[in-house]
């Protein structure tokens, strides 16, 4: 499992339209990690899911990622069973402003490339 | 064919074309819209949040080309400098109210329920409900201003006009404004005017007017549209409780344990 920080080309941040994205996440700090899901909080205002991520030295740290609101996901047919403890996923997002191991998680795929969920087009910034 | 016969034939052709055009104009179907028992257009249903017409991009309150010039001192009231204190700079990140119209502009469904006396406008986002009386009552006086103001509606033909007053000074930002130096606010003189017209079975044309005489020299308007989503009737609006798990409140994240 790999931990890659700050190596992605910065793209438009996925906005989740609950808070001002910029109040919580740093669009200059893209994050891409692969890890094993340890917990899913299927709660408002956004779901959170947590991954154990191993760095190059083999040290495991737990990361938290914010996803879309549960109602938004359910309306797209994505249920709380879509992501379970033990799943291995790749998450792309933007790191929390406080520098902690937390980030937005706008794009989530399984290890084989299947999409778990993403922010929708309408969540993206129009300008 | 004689010249007279030719002229008669030409005239007959012109008349026929005109007649067909008139018949087409008369028989062109008027957009069929559902109507309530009282004959008013029925706006009830599940709707997508307002979007930019055509492009379907998220609706913004602000189109600089449409904004009126600032009144004296208005610009300073409109642009609120960010200070670095997240409670001041983005109170919505602490689950404070979004205000109007911001709460209705995020990517969440809006349910409209119409009776002869009221239009209820409920958005899934933050579970905000506006109850708009339609009985012609005047605005209240001597009440405390509020985040969502006091809407009062009336019908002008098939257009529902909602005027909002009694707002407290609060954010007028949509959800996509990321200027790190400032955000945008209305004053307590803000007077909103909405014009909703169901133009076909699936569309509400929605004009939003900002009238804030402390900030702008005159009212100005933007145009949005809402699209109906009958498939959302089955589940209805989902509950959204902002404080349930607001883990990165104001940019400080809780420990993951």
> What does the pLDDT look like over B51-107, one tens digit per residue?
999 887 888 888 888 999 999 999 999 999 999 888 898 888 899 999 999 999 988
Of A2-11, A70-79, A117-126, B206-215, give the lowest mean pLDDT range. A2-11
- Does A75 sit within 8 Å of B242, measured CB to CB? no
In a domain, A82, yes or no: yes
Lowest mean pLDDT among A113-127, B80-94, B202-216, B233-247: A113-127
Measured distance CA(A29)–CA(B178) in Å, rounded: 16
Q: Which of B93, B238, B247 sits opposite A70 (nearest CB)?
A: B238
User: Which pLDDT score is estimated for B191?
Assistant: 98
CA distance A95 to A24: 9
- Pick A83 or B7 by higher pLDDT: A83
CB spacing of B251 vs A102 below 8 angstroms: no
Q: What is the pTM of this model?
A: 0.84
Q: Which candidate, A113, A70, A106, places its Cα nearest to that of A88?
A: A113
Residue A104, in any domain of the structure: yes
Whichever domain contains A9, its CATH number is 2.40.50.140
- Categorize the per-residue pLDDT at A121 as very low, low, confident or very high, splitting at 50, 70 and 90: very low
In a domain, A95, yes or no: yes
pLDDT confidence of residue A122:
38
In a domain, A37, yes or no: yes
- DSSP code for B176: -
Q: Which residue has the tokens 């938290």?
A: A64
Give me chain B's average pLDDT, please: 89
What is the pLDDT averaged over residues A10-38? 72
Enumerate the domain spans of chain B: 45-251
Instruction: Using CB atoms, pick whichever of B93, B180, B239 lies closest to residue A24.
Output: B93
- What is residue A23's three-state secondary structure? helix
End-to-end CA distance of chain A: 35
Q: Tell me if A13 sits within 8 A of A24, measured CB to CB.
A: no
* Angle, CA B14 vertex, CA B10 and CA B20 arms, to 5°: 140
Are B253 and A102 an interchain contact pair (Cβ–Cβ within 8 Å)?
yes
Identify whether the C-beta of residue B100 lies closer than 8 Å to the C-beta of residue B256.
no
CA distance A75 to chain B (A): 8
The whole-angstrom distance between B182's CA and the closest CA on chain A is 12
Would residue A126 count as lying in a domain? no
Using CA atoms, how far residue B155 sits from A94, B39, B92, B203, in Å, is: 47, 11, 33, 18
Structural domain contains residue A44? yes
């Amino acid at each position: 499992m790999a931990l890659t920080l700050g190596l992605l080309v910065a793209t438009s941040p996925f906005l989740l339209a609950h808070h001002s994205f910029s109040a919580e996440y740093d669009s200059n700090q893209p994050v891409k990690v692969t890890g094993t899901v340890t917990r899913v909080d299927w709660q408002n205002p956004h779901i959170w899911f947590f991954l154990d991520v191993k760095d190059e030295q083999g040290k495991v740290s737990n990361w938290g990622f914010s996803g879309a609101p549960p109602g938004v996901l359910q309306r797209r047919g994505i249920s709380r069973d879509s992501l379970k403890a033990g799943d291995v996923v790749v998450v792309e997002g933007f790191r929390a402003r406080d520098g902690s191991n937390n980030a937005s998680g706008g794009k989530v795929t399984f290890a084989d490339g299947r999409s778990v969920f993403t922010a929708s087009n309408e969540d993206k910034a129009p300008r | 064919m004689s010249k007279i016969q030719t002229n008669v034939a030409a005239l007959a052709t012109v008349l026929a074309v005109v007649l067909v055009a008139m018949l087409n104009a008369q028989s062109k179907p008027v957009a069929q819209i559902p109507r309530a028992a009282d004959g008013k257009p029925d706006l009830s249903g599940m709707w997508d949040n307002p979007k930019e017409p055509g492009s379907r991009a998220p609706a913004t309150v602000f189109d600089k080309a449409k904004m009126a010039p600032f009144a004296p001192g208005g610009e300073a009231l409109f642009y609120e400098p960010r200070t670095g204190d997240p409670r001041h700079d983005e109170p919505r990140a602490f689950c404070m109210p979004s205000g109007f119209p911001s709460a209705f502009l995020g990517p969440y469904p809006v349910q409209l329920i119409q009776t002869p006396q009221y239009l209820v406008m409920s958005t899934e986002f933050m579970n905000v409900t506006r109850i708009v009386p339609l009985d012609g009552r005047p605005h209240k006086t001597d009440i405390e201003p509020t985040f969502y103001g006091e809407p009062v509606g009336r019908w002008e033909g098939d257009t529902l006009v909602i005027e909002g007053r009694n707002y407290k000074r609060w954010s007028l930002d949509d959800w996509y404004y990321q200027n790190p130096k400032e955000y945008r606010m209305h004053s307590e003189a803000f007077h909103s005017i909405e014009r909703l017209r169901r133009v076909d079975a699936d569309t509400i044309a929605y004009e939003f007017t900002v009238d804030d005489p402390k900030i702008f020299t005159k009212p100005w308007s933007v145009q949005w549209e809402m699209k109906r989503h009958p498939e959302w009737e089955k589940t209805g609006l989902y509950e959204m409780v902002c404080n349930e798990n607001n883990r990165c409140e104001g940019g400080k994240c809780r420990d993951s344990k």
